[in-house]
Amino acid sequence: MTRVALVRIDDRLIHGQVVVRWLRYLDCSEILIVDNELWRDDFMHNVLRLAAPPSVRVHVAPVQQAAQHLQTLASANHDGGVPDDRRRALVLLRSPQAALQLFDDGFHFSQLNVGGLAAGPDSTRLYKSVSANADQIAALRELCDRGVRVYFQTVPDERAAEMSHLLPTAC
Amino acid sequence: MDIGMGQALLIALAAYLGSSTWFFGVGYFTVYRPLIGGTIVGLILGDVATGMKLGAAINAIYLGFISTGGSLPSDLIFAGYIGTALGMVAGLDAPTALSLVVPLGLLGSGIWFFRMSVDSLFVHWADAFARRGSTRGVAATNVWPGQILLLLLYGIPAFIIVYYGSGAVESLISAVPPKLVEGLAMVGGMLPAIGIGMLLDYMARWRLVPFFLLGFLLAVYLQLPTLVIALVGLIAAVLHVQYSGALETVSAPDKAPSPQLPPPSERRLVTRRDMLGAWFRWLTFSHSSYNYERLQGLGFAHSMTPIIARLYKTREDIAAALQRHLVFFNTEPNVGAVVHGVTVAMEEQRASGATQITDDAINSVKSGLMGPLAGIGDSMTQGLITPTLLALGIGLAEQGNLAGPILYVLLESAAIVGISYFTWMQGYRWGRTAVERILQAGLLQPLTEGASVLGLTVVGALTATVVQLSTKLSITVGPQTVLLQTDVLDPILKGLLPLSLTVLVWWLLKRKKSPLAVILVVFAVGLTGTWLGWLGWS
């Protein structure tokens, strides 16, 4: 049974930090990209599939469907079964809002890694290459309220920064 | 060795040049590396051979260095340029110098973060120029403030440390007990195992490990020259790809991608000169003002200035186009250059009246493609080509052959410039389907597989020459004394200890120990081992 090794917000999705560092560090053989828009885009679908290393399978799913699938996986792993650690999956999202929706649709992840969010017109920089606007921060705050540990970390060998430290009022 | 103020200034200037990444568009892949930095410092100090050898040894520690998305574990300029200069002026032997280089590299690692934070200010200056429709202003903002900042950030510490620090290092080394100096030298010989271990952690799969051992054995028992081992590796790579089925596993493309664009000959708004100008600007200045807020955003806008100047004539249109391209952008600059080609094609269509090419359309192509291409690009350029050629260059340089750094620069530059030019022009020719064409051509996987085989063979050979570890332990049984190293270990396998150390480092990294923790372990083992008299050269 596949196990989710990491849930990560990174709007560049499958890029260097993910391919060169996280996939190898976590030994993942699957990437699940949860995104309503990309799911409808055949071209990007194809590009993302081709961009991953040959040994890694890439799936793209809309939020609701992904939540159901991941929830089933989580409860199957939880109910004993045979916890087969050989297949690990990395869940990638492009925005905090999608992460919040994924949580509310039923996939109750306990930790959320925020690795990259591009700066926009009204955003403030929170951490290295993570910037967020008011809506995005609100979504992260909601996730904190639901008991999720939200932390900022771009690559595995760097120290994680907790959202509760960076934005003390948020959690 | 004494150092003149002129020499210290030249080294400071060279350290800036190494850090700036603009050097002929291949700076990050050439002058940034300690192998080249050491050679340049040696040239300045009047002893090329020593500088080159020291730079090569330093580079071995950082063989597994991969910078992704602006995250940098150690500063190679501090390690390479300042490390070589300090070692040479203080008259340290290579192993002792190596043990000082690692703390130097860590000392400098804060500079990168500081630089990326400060550069965030400059993009706002560029925003102001863009609003006024000034392509020149945007270009100048990308080039000057960031580069002046780098000159200060690297030049000043380099000058101070090199000019005033070597005396301090000399007196430090003469003040500490000789046992400790001996221990530091032992640590220095062990440290390259970290670079090689990190690279193995990245490059090696279990099924490819035999090629690593092949290179190691060829170097230890046949003492073949590095270039010959590289040729053996190349032959092994070709055979492996042919017979392992790596060529056959390539899936046929689902459907032949259809070109969405008319061929460039029917478009003709952008001239070849514009294209070359834009490409060269990107190649050279992509990271000139690299910053956390928009990463390569300013570099992208700068590269588009010749295209924008050609396509748009009114101030409003130029301003809009500049602002369109000043947004967040980040990719691996060479494989990712296909995005620029695609963007030029889209801008050209837009300028000739295609209304479906909106800001959103251009933005979504850029932001969608930049990530996946960075993943492929980093694996190829930083993960395979660079370490393989570096291992070759370091191996040659260690033998005192000036062909090491020269060959490295030539081969690496040809590869980088070639990839960048090819992907850029393909992007322009085919539009976004170029990405599918390149990825589905089925060359990527056999190339990766073959390059890994070649790389592992060369790295195996390098392990035999640069990692040094030996024991002084002996066992006395009655009248006979058995030396562990020469009487027991060497007959089993020469180089057993360096090989074991390298594999141990790899295993620790696989067990998710951080490189810094492994470095501390190496220091602890090397120093206490020497202190107790277990490690040493008998």
Q: Spell out the SS3 assignment of A6-36.
A: EEEEECCCCCHHHHHHHHHHHCCCEEEEECH
* pLDDT (0 to 100) of residue A170: 61
* pLDDT (0 to 100) of residue A128: 86
Task: Examine the pLDDT at B253 and tell me if it is beyond 70.
Answer: no
Averaged confidence pLDDT in chain A: 90
What is the mean predicted confidence (pLDDT) over B102-115? 90
Q: Which of residues 108-167 of A touch B (CB under 8 A)?
A: 116, 118-120, 125, 128-129, 131, 154-158
What is the mean predicted confidence (pLDDT) over A143-150? 95
Residues facing A113 on adjacent strands: A8, A151
Q: Which of residues 504-523 of B touch A (CB under 8 A)?
A: 512, 514-516
* pLDDT (0 to 100) of residue B348: 94
Task: Examine the pLDDT at B525 and tell me if it is beyond 70.
Answer: yes
Give residue B205's pLDDT band: very low, low, confident or very high (50, 70, 90). confident
Give residue A82's pLDDT band: very low, low, confident or very high (50, 70, 90). low
* pLDDT (0 to 100) of residue A1: 67
* pLDDT (0 to 100) of residue A143: 96
Question: What would the pLDDT profile of A111-121 be if each residue is shown by its tens digit?
Answer: 999 999 998 88
The chain A residue lying nearest B112, using CA atoms, is A128
Chain B nearest CA to A171, separation (Å) = 25
> Which amino acid type is present at position B77?
I
Shortest CA distance to B61 belongs to which of B525, B521, B387?
Answer: B387
Task: Examine the pLDDT at B268 and tell me if it is beyond 80.
Answer: no
* pLDDT (0 to 100) of residue B254: 53
For chain A, how far is it from start to end, CA to CA, in angstroms?
33
CA distance A143 to A122: 21
Question: What would the pLDDT profile of B334-391 be if each residue is shown by its tens digit?
Answer: 999 999 999 999 999 999 988 889 999 999 999 999 999 999 999 999 999 999 999 9
Task: Examine the pLDDT at A85 and tell me if it is beyond 60.
Answer: no
Percent of chain B with pLDDT over 90: 79
Give residue B523's pLDDT band: very low, low, confident or very high (50, 70, 90). very high
Q: How far is CA B425 from the centre of its chain?
A: 24
The chain B residue lying nearest A45, using CA atoms, is B368
A75 touching chain B per CB within 8 A: no
Q: What single DSSP character describes residue A158? A: S
ipTM of the complex: 0.87
Hey, is A150 helix, strand or coil? strand
Residues facing A114 on adjacent strands: A9, A152
Task: Examine the pLDDT at B261 and tell me if it is beyond 90.
Answer: no
Averaged confidence pLDDT in chain B: 92
B254 touching chain A per CB within 8 A: yes
Task: Examine the pLDDT at B71 and tell me if it is beyond 60.
Answer: no
What is the mean predicted confidence (pLDDT) over B128-133? 97
What lies within 8 Å, CB to CB, of B100 at 6+ separation is B83, B86, B87, B92, B169, B184
* pLDDT (0 to 100) of residue A120: 87
Q: Do B375 and A16 touch (CB under 8 A)?
A: yes
From the list A51, A116, A157, which residue is nearest B372 (CB)? A51
* pLDDT (0 to 100) of residue A84: 56
Distances (CA, A) of A73 to A68, A80, B148: 9, 12, 54
Chain B nearest CA to A132, separation (Å) = 11
Choose the mutation target among A26, A35, A38, A50 for the interface with B, i.e. most B CBs under 10 Å.
A50
Q: Do B120 and A12 touch (CB under 8 A)?
A: no
Specify whether the CB–CB gap between A92 and A33 falls below 8 A: yes
